[in-house]
Amino acid sequence: MIPALRRRLAALFGGLTSLVLLVMLAITCYLSCTQYQSSQEVLYQTRFQSLLQQLQRSGEVSDDYLSQVAGDESLLFYVEVNGVPLHFSALRAEEGKDDLLSALRGEAENQSGGGDGLLNVTLTVDGVPYQGIVYTVTDYQVYFAQDLTGRYDHIRELVGLYLLLGAAGVAAMLLVSWLLSRIATRPTEQAVQEQQAFIAAASHELRSPLAVIRASLYAAGQQSERQEVQTQLALADREAERMSRLVADLLTLTGSGVGRWACERTDVELETVCIRLYDQFAPQAAQKRRPFRLELPETVLPVISSDEERLVQLLSVLLSNALDHTPAGTAVELTARVEGSCAVLSVVDHGPGIPDGEKEAVFRRFYRAEQSRTDKGHFGLGLPIAQELARQLGGQLTLEDTPGGGASFSLRLRRAGR
């Protein structure tokens, strides 16, 4: 699905940008060719007018001027004064251009009927295109022509250059489009991978407790002694509770994904929240043989604007993780302090800690530092929920190493009115 989407995006973006590029190049090519044609035409007309002015002033043309005109290989002329050809122009006419001169005379006869005047003609002689002017008055006759081969060759070179630029531009656009489509579809590809991981994890985790529940209920129905029935029912209840936690976590994350988490902000006393959490987790910590300490500053903690229940939910996730992932006898601490305009609540443990390469990964859904599924109490959803709650509350959740070993999760919240 993702490769097909990537190809379609690349084709769409590359096709549109290539079309725009080709249209711009076509317009530029047309303007360049038109400008070149106009400049050559102006130069052609200017040279003819200069030659004509020379003749009109003195009835003859200087050798310097004729040499200048003859320097252009594409420019041809023939001048007769009182029926006598100018020597310089006669040489030009004898250089294999008799056919051209005859064609110009023929065009003049056909269009003017032998009368005086100025005629512009276009003709092809021996496969060579020319544009010419025949000017006839009483005293002299001027045949002026230019070989258009060089002009046409230059225009073809211009068109070829723009075609080459267009091909290179289209290739570059397609390459860029492909790279951009890969970048654009990367979040979608990651989301699909996460969805597949979600399906695999949910299927595995839900199948296991359901199987235990069914087996336990079946065994309970087969037992005759009350104590064995209670044991099987307790096992079924424990697995049902574990499955309920997984479903609750999945629903929580689903709600965060569509923006359905509601936060009701009120003034929250952080000292009250910390004492509440200590009372809530102290029995659990004692049962798991983890020393649990609450450290509050000597000064009164500030009041913050937050959602107390969401805040308790966030810190409960961090405390549950700390108590579950540290060895027996390892201390867990809930601390609070003030830093500038912020209040900082931290859950500190002194367990094995989290490697630097996994500090960002632990906030991804379904990620567990141990990639096995032997730990059935955790599904890799707690820390993503905590991070999302921190965003909703306008705070910042960070992870650092505990001095001496362990992990410290800190939630930074602004004071009320700050």
pLDDT along the chain (418 residues), means of 10: 79 88 92 91 84 68 61 69 64 60 80 70 85 79 83 91 92 88 81 68 63 67 64 67 62 52 78 89 87 89 86 87 86 90 90 80 64 46 80 88 89 75
The pLDDT of residue 91 = 43
Residue 191 makes CB contacts below 8 A (sequence gap 6+) with none
| Residue recorded with tokens 């060089």 | 150
pTM over 0.85: no
Residue 164 CA, distance from chain mean position = 27
Per-residue pLDDT, 31: 93
Q: How many CB atoms lie under 10 A from the CB of residue 367? A: 16
Q: How many other C-beta atoms can be found within 10 angstroms of the C-beta atom of residue 164?
A: 10
Give the pLDDT of residue 305: 86
Residue in the block written with tokens 């630097």? 356
Q: What is the pLDDT of residue 209?
A: 66
Measured CA to CA in angstroms, residue 64 lies from 54, 104, 135, 281 at distances of 12, 25, 22, 110
Give the number of other Cβ atoms within 10 Å of residue 85's Cβ. 17
Nearest CA-CA partner of 304 in 347, 265, 262: 265
Report pLDDT for 258.
40
Dist. CA 367–CA 349, nearest whole Å: 20
Non-local (6+) Cβ contacts of 250 within 8 A are 198, 202, 381
Locus of tokens 């725009």: 20
